[in-house]
Every structure is written in structure tokens, then in C-alpha cells.
Structure 1
Amino acid sequence: MNPATAHLPKWAPAGVIDTLRLAKATYANLPSYGLDALIEHVQPDLSAAPARRHRATYDAYATAQLLVAMASCYETWDQLVAAAVPPSMPGAPEEAPALW
């Protein structure tokens, strides 16, 4: 069984947003796209983040704040989807090729 569906075999996401793919499209030419590098580059307000860096809740909160910041760089949802959703994944634009 696929590890991604082992715990929720009937669940299928309505869509996928690949934050790494989105970061590379939004902030081209950064030397690194790790969470620390993106936090340093974007400088989101993380004062309300739970826990501390390298804890799951903090990292999830920081990723969400980065997603909001990156989304604000796109005028439309379709533009964001084109940058963030890998072809053939749920939510990908229909005209996208089926390879990735």
C-alpha cells in the first residue's frame, strides 16, 4: 500500500500546492529554498508562532505565513496554481502535461 494512503485510504486531496515549487517560482535565483533561507528572505511576522524553530507547530506556522506572502505576489488564483501545482497532481491546470 502507498504510504501516503495507508492511514486515510479513501481520502483524496482536492488540490496540491507545492510550497517549494511556489518558492522557486516566486523568488527565483535565491541560493537556497530551505525554510530558514525563506524566512530570512521574506521576513514574515512569526511573533505569534507556537513553540520554537524546528518544532512541527512552528515550522507549519512559518510555512503558512510564507505561503500567504508568496500568494500575495500573484494577481490571480490561476497564476498561483500554475506556479505551485505540479502537473498531473490534483488541482493542476488542465492544459498541464501529465509528466513530472
Structure 2
Amino acid sequence: MNPSSWPALLVVDVEGNGTNPPDLVEVAALPVREGRPDKSTAGAWLTKPRRPVTPFATRVHGLTNQVLDGKPGWEEIADDVHAFLGTAWIAAHNAHVDYRVLSAHLPKWQPAGVIDTLRLAKATYPGLPKYSLDALIEFMQPDLTEAPAQRHRATFDAFATAQILLAMATRYETWDQLVAAAVPPGLPGAPEPEQEPTLW
């Protein structure tokens, strides 16, 4: 399959403050153009959460309350993020999490579809012991030399997810086949279940 024929697609990743439900602290959206991640037009935002970042969350992504203290609040950047995402397809690892958090923060946002690289990896590589992003990076060895920041930052994880998505996509002949394997039921873009034939 030629990724150049794909519809508009953004690989997204979000980082939160560790509360439940989470406040966002970082959002990254990386366009895939002509079959490769386009860092030159990527979007990345840091935002000060309403509630402090928990020590556990800081240990994961490294973002402290001090780092975020001077950043804009979500209400100041929400329109920019919404405009950047538009109605493009999104892809993410364990995508229902990113989709749910973004939808909670952007109630009027509706992507064309949601590709889950975790679901796609299970379909593409059945039998792996783990399907975490770390496990797939180790298994697939994508080229991350141009990845920004470091693991568990939104920009790095979006870049790594994009490389993994593009590598897996080579095993599918058409966009529709990829979608059938990668879009979780109930999320935007999921194929309609085939109707049982009836007598009437």
C-alpha cells in the first residue's frame, strides 16, 4: 500500500497530570505526509494543568509543576489544538485513551477516524508477549534518530508511533484493510458490521 494515498492523518499523543480524570499537560500531533512523519509541520503544546502534576506522572514523563508553571492554561490553547486537529484521522497507541482524553477537553472535536496501533500490532504480529510501545520499539527497531525529546514525552511517542504505524502498514494492501484491522469498534471510522441477510 502506498501511504501517499492516505487521507489526512495525524499521529497524536497526550501526557496528563496523573489525576483521574486527567488534566492535560502535553499534546503532540504529528502529520504523516508522503509516507513519512512531517516534523516541520507538527503541533506540540505544553499546558499548565488545573490540578498539580502528581509525583508518579512526573516520574513517567519528566514534566514538573515548575516546568509547567508559566505555560498557558488549557482554555488558552484549546482553540488552537482543535483547529490543528481539524477533521483529520488520528492514530495513537492504545488510541481509545488519547481519544477519550482529547474528546473530554475538546467537546466539539470529531476526527474522521481513530487508528489504534496497539490493535493493529496485535493483528499484524500475533503472538508477541507484549504490545506496549516500548515492546514494539524493541521488536520492530524503528529509526528514532530524528525523534524529538525522549520516551514518554508526547513528541517522542508520537514520532515513534508514526514509524511503527508506517512499518506495519506495509503489510496491508489497501487503506480499508488497514482500517479494518486498526480501528476499535465504537470509535470514529470503524467499519460498519456486516448485516445478516434477511428474508425481507
TM-score class normalised by the smaller sequence: 0.7 to 0.9
Match of 1:22 in 2: 120
| Structure with bigger RCO (C-alpha 8 Å, 6+ apart) | 1
Give the match's secondary structure for 1:17. Answer: strand
Deviating more after overlay: 50-59 vs 67-76: 50-59
Q: Please say if 1:48 is aligned against 2:121.
A: no
Q: Please say if 1:66 is aligned against 2:164.
A: yes
1:72 Cα deviation from its structure 2 partner? 1.2
Deviating more after overlay: 20-29 vs 84-93: 84-93
Match of 1:86 in 2: 184
Q: Could you tell me how far apart the structure 1 residues matched to 2:101 and 2:146 are?
A: 33
Q: Contact (CA 8 Å) 1:16, 1:90: kept in 2 or not?
A: yes
Q: Pick the structure with more strand per residue.
A: 2
1:75 Cα deviation from its structure 2 partner? 0.7
Q: Contact (CA 8 Å) 1:87, 1:96: kept in 2 or not?
A: no
Larger-Rg structure: 2
Segments ≥4 residues shifted beyond 3 Å: 2-6
Match of 2:155 in 1: 57
The one of 126, 131, 135 equivalent to 1:33 is: 131
Aligned residue pairs total 96
Structure 2: which amino acid aligns with 1:57?
T
With over 3 angstroms needed to count, the CA separation of the structure-2 counterparts of 1:96 and 1:54, relative to structure 1, is farther
Unaligned runs of 5+ in 1: none
- Identity of matched residues, %: 74
Give the match's secondary structure for 1:5. Answer: helix
Q: Contact (CA 8 Å) 1:19, 1:67: kept in 2 or not?
A: yes
1:10 Cα deviation from its structure 2 partner? 1.3
User: So what's the TM-score if we normalise by structure 1?
Assistant: 0.84
1:33-62 Cα distance to aligned partner (Å, 9 max, x none)? 011110111111111111122222111110
Q: CA RMSD in A?
A: 1.9
With over 3 angstroms needed to count, the CA separation of the structure-2 counterparts of 1:42 and 1:96, relative to structure 1, is farther
Match of 2:97 in 1: none
1:68 Cα deviation from its structure 2 partner? 0.7
Structure 1: which amino acid aligns with 2:188?
P
Deviating more after overlay: 45-54 vs 22-31: 45-54
1:92 Cα deviation from its structure 2 partner? 1.2
Structure 2: which amino acid aligns with 1:35?
L
